[in-house]
Amino acid sequence: MTDLFSPLRLGAIDLPNRIVMSSLTRNRAGAGNVPTDLTVEYYRQRASAGLILTEASPICPEAHGYPRTPGIHTAEQMAGWKTVTAAVHAAGGRIAIQLWHVGRISHPDLQPGGATPVAPSALCPVGQVMTFKGMQEYVTPRALEAAELPALVASYVQAAKNAMAAGFDGVEIHAGNGYLLDQFLRSSTNQRSDAYGGSKENRARLLLEVLAAVCAAIGNNRVGVRLSPVTPFNDISDANPQETFDYVVGELNRFDLAFLDVLQGTGGAAPEQWLPFDYARLRAIYKGKLILNNGYDFATGQAAVQGGAADAIAYGRALLANPDLVERFRRGAPLNQPDYTKLYVGEEKGYTDYPFLAD
């Protein structure tokens, strides 16, 4: 019977098991938003996962929205990531980078030249953003002109090419969690009246253009995408998420992607708190390999794979705190608990110092 320990092929990527490391922002990059030796060790420790999805990596200077997030748009960043991929591969692992543009979830203090962040529409998100000066209120973003969108697509393509040059096995296009591509997809944040706004078809246009261009550049069998149909994270929502994402997922079929990674419900919330959404319907619509993500333990992940609800399960906090999660699951061993005070601060503390079973 297929289970979490069964091998799986995602496009061109062969996985020894179906336990995927979910993308987790850790804010540990060095000067110039370059991965450091600590980053190398962090990912090397978790190489027994079937596939590592890295923390989200900004595709260009304007894509940044948090301090110390490692980019994939400079030669120095590429060189830093190359040491990461080499270490993961030497440890027998596979690793794909999550390509990121935060859109309006930024601040002028985090933008080149203090520029205003961009978005599909000039709508200010509710809340505050972490900057190098501490927490600050979000600002009203500048709506992107249609004429700017081809250059944005080109930034995704260049970042994907950079990722391949840095030794990654693939890329995941981040189109969830309230960031730029999700802002285009959802009705609350996209109030455009041009070809990129209004209908679900128009709101999905930019994501589909990005996917087409990236697939053409590096091969569709090394490209995945992240969606989060109902998460309200970063002050985002949709008037009809089922209709929107049924359409989006149906359109993904024409790309024959390596995988689709779906964040169910709301990050950090228990399933009983999730907003209503029929994920089984997405499974029925989508013809490719599906990774489900959020709130799974061993038993529920095993049941989802064995029952055919998913091809693989992504684990975030569990792999953060248990670099040897695969072996712990295999043995039925107890799990370390994550130190939530050290998610985004602490350097090696709460990052590379979680004990292995052998310790």
Task: Decide if 42 is catalytic.
Answer: no
Beta strands 8-10 and 13-15, pairing class: antiparallel
Report whether 62 contacts 107 (CB < 8 A): no
* Catalytic pick among 42, 179, 196, 247: 179
Backbone angles phi, psi at 160, to 5 degrees: -65, -40
Q: Which residues contact 213 (CB under 8 A, 6 or more apart)?
A: 153, 154, 156, 157
Cross-strand pairs, 358: none
CA distances, 270 to each of 175, 264, 302 (Å): 22, 10, 18
* Neighbouring C-alpha atoms within 13 Å toward the C-beta of 79: 5
Hey, what are 138's tokens?
Answer: 């979000």
Q: How far apart are the first and last CA of the chain?
A: 32
Report whether 112 contacts 61 (CB < 8 A): yes
Q: Which residues contact 263 (CB under 8 A, 6 or more apart)?
A: 176, 177, 226, 227, 228, 231, 293, 294
Report whether 141 contacts 107 (CB < 8 A): no
Distance CA 359, CA 349 (A): 16
Distance CA 180, CA 338 (A): 29
Catalytic sites, residue numbers: 179
